[in-house]
Structure 1
Amino acid sequence: MRCSGFNICASNKILREGFCLKKANLGYEVRRVEPIFALDIGTRLVMGLVITKKEDQSYEILASAQTEHRQRAMYDGQVHDVDEVALAVAKVKTQLEKKLGIPLKQVAVAAAGRALRTEIASAENRELLPVRWERENVLALEIKAVHQALRQLQSSAEHELQSYHCVGYNTIAQWNESEKISNLIGQRGKVAKVSVIATFLPRTVVDGLVAVLGRVGLEMTSLTLEPIAAGQAAIPANMRRLNLALVDVGAGTADIALTRSGSFFAYGMVPMAGDEVTEEICTHYVLDFKVGEKLKRDLNKKKQLSFTDFLGSKMVVAQAEVLSIIQPVVAGLAEKIAQEILKLNESAPHAIILIGGGSLTPMLCELLAETMGMPQNRVGVQIRERLGDITGEKNLKGPETITPIGIGIAALDGNGLQYYTVKVNGASVPIFALQLSTVAEALLAAGIQPRSFFGKPGAALTFELNNEMQVIKGSLGSPAQLLVNGSPGKLDQSLEAGDEIVFTPGANGKDAQVCFKDILPSQQPKQITWNGQREMYAPQILVDQQWVSESDPILDGYKINYIPNDDLNHLLKQKGYDVDKKEVLEIRVNGEVNRVGIDREILVNGQRQSTNSPIHEGDAIDVLTYKPTVADLKLMPLPMIFHVNGEEVEFPIQEILITSQGRTVSEAEPLYDGMDLRIDGYKQMPILSEILPYVKFPEGERSGSLLTLIVNGQPAEFTTVLRPGDRLTVAWRNNA
């Protein structure tokens, strides 16, 4: 049998015929070998290897290669510079191809463990009348629930700016008419509901990996999570019954996975790792990052360390000095790792296993054991050399090799997310086969909204007609059209790599559209005589007090006032007369408001008629209006009153003078609404001598006496000008 395109046998010899031969007692037998190209794209290091699984269930590494990024192109496991990361991947790929003598086209990779997210969400479908829920309806409802899960994820403060790939979902509950049911398909009702648990990976993580691999001609066939992959290699299955903590200390992050009762049960992450230690060294000695990284690695090898700083000075420092500089940072890293482990595990585990290049950070094991309150021998570093079931490639050593080996093991054992692409409307769409992938999942991955699976009804038209709400419904929508590889497809149809989907969204129903003539009665205009003038009496249509034509369209929210041409009441309304309310004029007289009614008489063909009398062709209508005049107000000015010697004295009105805005008006002048009148009985204010004839003088001897005059307590003269309400004292005073 052909070796899946690799043509590599367990002895690492290439058989051009494509078969691997194993010597048996009776000759040779043919067995299939399925090597996997596993690639670990780390923040600092890119490591690749080709690994295969042997008949005895052990694993053999056929070739490996590794390189560092030329510059910082990855941060916290996330691709930031696609081209720069692609250069490192291409270098590893080329080295492996040279060693094996074959091209590498497919690869298994891992995403940061902290990236995986799960959400539980529900979706509901309501119908006006009972319907039978078919498979298409239920699938559309499930996808709607997945979209709701995605919205929940993106609405959280931590993830609101993220975009995600759905890598799978499972339906966990279904309801029909609020009754929980095991299967909705075939049931009948008006309300259906499903609840799903959906799993997501950030698009930036996946798309960044895909972009890098695409640059170097590689296709991703399997995607696993870094802590899961590391656990596959670092902790054998028979050891997972213990409560162990696996800590993958990289350059940017420390990923944590916990085991108990035979499986991994929790994952966590600390956003701090080896780079913080390097940066502390660079800050203290003013070093380029690469120089600082080399100095950190040499701490475990040399007692005296020499280097050249950024300014060109050559320096030699003792190992103890550098250790004292980084000790606070390493202690901080140990503290954060310990806090995350205790948060996930709620107690100290049986042991802590460190892997990854950052696990070689000096003092980390000791400080972590001290922080956790554990014996020193319960915190250690796992290295490839202690992995009993891994053979081949003897020069592949150290804790940083654990994760790429685990990526290969996960892919060989089928524990990764199987990845392939399909096309939706010509665009490539990634599919993660956590379960049997369907057309509906592909549409979801392509970003097609569930609401486009079925066309929605056209918008209804809502308006008011003479203060009564009216609703005109739109037409119903049509379902979406699906073609899979050129043939009609269904939402639940299974997919294979390379399938092509053509999706035409469901057509929405047409919005309701009507004209005024479609809803109003048909009435012909009539020729009448109005106050002696011939004119046409037609129905009147008003929107917001504006005339409209019966052929105009009605828009949503219109407030329509329709006045037909059938009786006298509607004619008067068209002419602006409110037959139910008598018209009143408001007149101000010396600042006070006076209300005066207007009398009208309405005649039809010379006869008085009730307002509901019909109007016929040729009728003559006359409106006789009797407008009030100034005389109807019966205005009379008030006399002036003075207080003389304690008694009221009335100064008689001299003449009646009526003015409006400075203009003299006569009593015959018609009134109008808002008219402002002023009425006076005097041309000017009187002087004191003019009021004396109306004053009763005090009795007494006048001979030889003087008349004293006082106004408001002050001495006055005969010519003193008075004001209404003034208080006067008039008395005789003896001259002696």
Structure 2
Amino acid sequence: MEPIFALDIGTRMVMGLVMTKNKEQGYEIIASAKTEHKQRAMYDGQVHDVDEVARAVIKVKEALEKKLDMPLKQVAVAAAGRALRTEVACAEHKEPLPVRWEREDVLALEMEAVHLALRQLQSSTDDDAQSYHCVGYSPIAWWNEGEEISNLIGQRGRVAKVSVIATFLPRTVVDGLVAVLSQVGLEMTSLTLEPIAAGQAAIPMNMRRLNLALVDIGAGTADIALTRNGSFFAYGMVPMAGDEVTEAICTHYLLDFKVGEKVKREITTKAQLSFKDFLGAKVVAQKEDVLNVIMSVVGKLAESISKEILILNNDVPQAIILIGGGSLTPMLSEMIAETLGIPQNRVGIQVRERLGEIFGEKSLKGPESVTPIGIGIAALEGKGLQYYSVTVNNTIVSIFEIQLATVAEALLAAGILPRSFFGKPGAALTFEWNCEMRVIKGTLGSPAQLSVNGIPGKLEQALKAGDQITFIPGEPGNDAQVSFKEVLPPHDAKWILWNGQREIYAPQVLVNNQLAYETDKILDGYKITYIPNDDLNNLLKQKGYNLQKKEEIEYRVNGEAHNINLDREILVNGCRVEDSSIIDDGDSIEVNTKQIMIGELGLLPRPFIFSVNGVEIEFPPQETIISFRGMPVSENQPLEDGMDLRVDGFKRMPILSDLLPYVKFPEEVPPGSSLKLRVNGQIAEFTTVLHPGDRVTAIWN
């Protein structure tokens, strides 16, 4: 197997090694080299100063090339484990009518779901949607018409839905690594995550059945990986590590950071430490004094690591394995054991010397060498994310593949939206036609034009390094447009005689009871009434008649509602008809409705009713007066629909003397008697005006 160049670009140190796989003995380290950054160019595993990091990388690269006497062109690296993001998203597509879901339709829907996952990531992190690389995705469920199925391809339906789980890495992390490697003439061929790489080397496969916690303590962060039942099942991170310990020493003794780092490393090897502070004064400190200075920050680091382990594992693991340069921090392993409440011998530091199946370069020692060895193992075993470049419309696009990368994934990585893979169909036109729903479909969009290396390609086509993709987005279809003339049934206009007048009899189209013309456009949501020109019934509908319903007139008399049917006669070519009949060209139609005169209603005024001495008396009307809107009307005047007639029988209101002839008085009246008159209990006279319902009393006293 070809040797692999593995590079661990850490916050404090850059370490590289070249290793190969030996089927019989395991993994052989051919050469190694390391150097420290001259100044702080990395923060929390992310490149902040490309030039400074590149200087450290080129130093390691040149040292290895000198040892091997060969150029190094390709390299495997690792990204900080906390940078990985995972999102689950669903995408749905609807069609007006059932269609067959082809492979490219399903793939475009999956890409849409990945794009939605990217947007979810943006909203949850307040980052720009394009600041992440999609490093892989997997469909996890498909639905057709709301029913979950195992395979959507080939199914028919109107609504398709897919759910995917997608993983992303921040572009700033990846692009920073790529920028450094490009500057020193290296091409990244494999990318893994630091905790995954460390686990490959630090915990053998047969030990992963135990519940173990691997803690990679660097300068800026402590990455955590947990094993159980034969695999890694959780990853976490604590945003503090060895630098906090160094800062505590620098703050207490007023030291430059490099001097503080040197003091921290000498604590475990010297009983008395001697150094100069920032002002040049010589300082001599006992080991116990320096340990007291860092005790609180080491305790805080141990507490943070223990807390994150308990959150991820929901329990105390069986053992804790520490790697990385920060694992050598004094008192750290003891404090982690104390915080978790486990024996101190259950917290150990893993070093290269104890790694099984690793041989070769003897100078590579200590816990800080475990991660670069793991990076090499991941690359040799093909467990890293394969990385290469293609071009999309002359723009270089970086491709990571967990599975085989496709053209669709390259387009997505280039920022091309999935909806442009296929031209969107034009909007459909929906309207009601005589209470029946109708749909006119828009035209289909044109598919995108796609070629790979000048040859027509497909979205699902696999890619290889250097492929050149040309993509022209699909054009959307036209929205549905139609006029009334285009949807009218075939018909011929007819000339008829209507009540003696020659006119054309054609179909009638109404929109919301308003007449429309054949040349008018139908708009979405129209409620259309279509009346054809075939028979008498439809002709009468157009004219406002209803053959099945008798015509009637409504009127009121003194506020009381009445209605009366009109006698209607329909003649077709001179013959009376009672039912509908076919109307042909040249037919004569007459509709005669007999008018009703007001005199035919037999309207009579009602008498006034009075009570005289307890007896009800009807006072007859003097005449009959019929009026409409305050004006008198003749009995020979036609009755019109909605008339409000008033019928009166008195020119004036009667007075009490008018009523006396209808009163029965005693035949003999005692001499000297007088007539006492009262109306409604009040004293009245002969000229007192009466009103209907008055109570009159006339007594001889």
Aligned residue identity for 2:454: G
8 Å contact kept, 2:495–2:503: yes
Change (3 A) 1:48 1:252: closer
8 Å contact kept, 1:167–1:199: no
Question: Which residue does 1:652 correspond to in 2?
Answer: 620
Question: Which residue does 1:315 correspond to in 2?
Answer: none
1:19-168 equivalence runs, <5 A: 33-40=3-10, 45=11, 47-53=13-19, 57-58=28-29, 60-66=31-37, 84=48, 86=50, 89-90=53-54, 92-93=56-57, 108-113=77-82, 115-117=84-86, 137-138=102-103, 141=106, 144-145=109-110, 147-148=112-113, 166-168=134-136
CA distance in structure 2 between the partners assigned to 1:227 and 1:570 by the alignment? 82
CA distance in structure 1 between the partners assigned to 2:329 and 2:620 by the alignment? 116
CA distance in structure 2 between the partners assigned to 1:514 and 1:731 by the alignment? 90
Q: Sequence identity of aligned pairs in percent?
A: 49
8 Å contact kept, 2:138–2:166: no
Q: CA RMSD in A?
A: 5.7
Change (3 A) 1:580 1:254: farther
CA distance in structure 2 between the partners assigned to 1:582 and 1:53 by the alignment? 103
Aligned residue identity for 1:36: A
8 Å contact kept, 1:61–1:391: no
State the SS of the aligned residue for 2:17. strand
State the SS of the aligned residue for 2:307. helix
Deviation of 1:720 after TM superposition, in Å, equals: 5.7
Which of 556, 560, 583 is equivalent to 1:588?
556
Deviation of 1:110 after TM superposition, in Å, equals: 1.2
Alignment of 1:336 onto 2:307 = yes
Deviation of 1:405 after TM superposition, in Å, equals: 5.9
State the SS of the aligned residue for 2:79. strand
1:298-447 equivalence runs, <5 A: 333=304, 336-343=307-314, 347-355=315-323, 365=333, 368-380=336-348, 403=371, 406-407=374-375, 409-411=377-379, 413-443=381-411, 445-446=413-414
1:193-208 equivalence runs, <5 A: 200-202=166-168, 205-206=170-171, 208=173
CA distance in structure 1 between the partners assigned to 2:240 and 2:504 by the alignment? 90
Alignment of 1:577 onto 2:545 = yes
Deviation of 1:732 after TM superposition, in Å, equals: 5.1
Change (3 A) 1:715 1:490: closer
CA distance in structure 2 between the partners assigned to 1:569 and 1:50 by the alignment? 95
CA distance in structure 2 between the partners assigned to 1:227 and 1:59 by the alignment? 24
CA distance in structure 2 between the partners assigned to 1:87 and 1:643 by the alignment? 121
Which of 643, 657, 675 is equivalent to 1:675?
643
Change (3 A) 1:724 1:610: closer
Which of 199, 211, 215 is equivalent to 1:231?
199
8 Å contact kept, 1:142–1:196: no
Change (3 A) 1:665 1:174: closer
CA distance in structure 1 between the partners assigned to 2:665 and 2:222 by the alignment? 116
8 Å contact kept, 1:37–1:50: yes
8 Å contact kept, 2:19–2:376: no
8 Å contact kept, 1:653–1:682: yes
Q: Over residues 251-291 of structure 1, what are the superposed CA-to-partner deviations in whole Å (9 max), with x where a residue is unaligned?
A: 88754312245x5331133676569989x99xxx9xxxx99
Change (3 A) 1:537 1:384: same
Q: Over residues 534-565 of structure 1, what are the superposed CA-to-partner deviations in whole Å (9 max), with x where a residue is unaligned?
A: 43333333344444444555555544433343
CA distance in structure 1 between the partners assigned to 2:160 and 2:550 by the alignment? 64
CA distance in structure 1 between the partners assigned to 2:223 and 2:179 by the alignment? 27
Q: Over residues 506-541 of structure 1, what are the superposed CA-to-partner deviations in whole Å (9 max), with x where a residue is unaligned?
A: 777777665544554544434444344443333333
8 Å contact kept, 1:146–1:198: no
8 Å contact kept, 1:123–1:145: no
CA distance in structure 1 between the partners assigned to 2:644 and 2:200 by the alignment? 98
Change (3 A) 1:299 1:105: closer
Change (3 A) 1:488 1:629: same
Deviation of 1:707 after TM superposition, in Å, equals: 5.0
State the SS of the aligned residue for 1:336. helix
Aligned residue identity for 1:58: I
State the SS of the aligned residue for 2:504. strand
Deviation of 1:371 after TM superposition, in Å, equals: 4.5
State the SS of the aligned residue for 2:199. helix
Change (3 A) 1:665 1:368: farther
Question: Which residue does 1:27 correspond to in 2?
Answer: none
TM-score normalised according to structure 1 size: 0.69
Alignment of 1:266 onto 2:233 = yes
1:178-197 equivalence runs, <5 A: none
Change (3 A) 1:425 1:708: farther
State the SS of the aligned residue for 2:465. coil
Deviation of 1:245 after TM superposition, in Å, equals: 0.5
CA distance in structure 1 between the partners assigned to 2:94 and 2:539 by the alignment? 51
Deviation of 1:228 after TM superposition, in Å, equals: 0.6
Q: Over residues 84-136 of structure 1, what are the superposed CA-to-partner deviations in whole Å (9 max), with x where a residue is unaligned?
A: 564664564566578679998866231434735376989999999999x9xxx
CA distance in structure 2 between the partners assigned to 1:698 and 1:273 by the alignment? 127
Change (3 A) 1:697 1:270: farther
Q: Over residues 141-198 of structure 1, what are the superposed CA-to-partner deviations in whole Å (9 max), with x where a residue is unaligned?
A: 466457557758977999698867553456899999x9999x999xx9869x999996
CA distance in structure 2 between the partners assigned to 1:307 and 1:709 by the alignment? 133
Aligned residue identity for 2:77: A
Question: Which residue does 2:281 correspond to in 1?
Answer: none
Deviation of 1:626 after TM superposition, in Å, equals: 3.1
Change (3 A) 1:434 1:326: closer
State the SS of the aligned residue for 2:387. strand
8 Å contact kept, 1:124–1:194: yes
Change (3 A) 1:529 1:237: closer
Change (3 A) 1:307 1:683: farther
Deviation of 1:497 after TM superposition, in Å, equals: 1.0
State the SS of the aligned residue for 2:399. strand
Change (3 A) 1:635 1:242: same
Change (3 A) 1:544 1:447: farther
8 Å contact kept, 2:220–2:239: yes
Deviation of 1:207 after TM superposition, in Å, equals: 5.6
8 Å contact kept, 1:253–1:271: yes
CA distance in structure 1 between the partners assigned to 2:653 and 2:5 by the alignment? 122
CA distance in structure 2 between the partners assigned to 1:148 and 1:588 by the alignment? 70
Alignment of 1:717 onto 2:684 = yes
8 Å contact kept, 2:224–2:309: no
Q: Over residues 665-696 of structure 1, what are the superposed CA-to-partner deviations in whole Å (9 max), with x where a residue is unaligned?
A: 44444444333333344456555555444344
CA distance in structure 2 between the partners assigned to 1:276 and 1:683 by the alignment? 116
Change (3 A) 1:726 1:94: farther
Change (3 A) 1:703 1:116: same
TM-score normalised according to structure 2 size: 0.72
1:462-473 equivalence runs, <5 A: 463-470=431-438
Deviation of 1:237 after TM superposition, in Å, equals: 5.2
Question: Which residue does 1:8 correspond to in 2?
Answer: none
Unaligned 5+ runs, structure 1: 1-30, 309-317
Deviation of 1:463 after TM superposition, in Å, equals: 4.7
8 Å contact kept, 1:354–1:380: yes
State the SS of the aligned residue for 2:537. helix
Deviation of 1:485 after TM superposition, in Å, equals: 0.5
CA distance in structure 1 between the partners assigned to 2:161 and 2:482 by the alignment? 41
Deviation of 1:224 after TM superposition, in Å, equals: 1.5
8 Å contact kept, 1:116–1:199: no
Q: Over residues 408-427 of structure 1, what are the superposed CA-to-partner deviations in whole Å (9 max), with x where a residue is unaligned?
A: 55345532101122223444
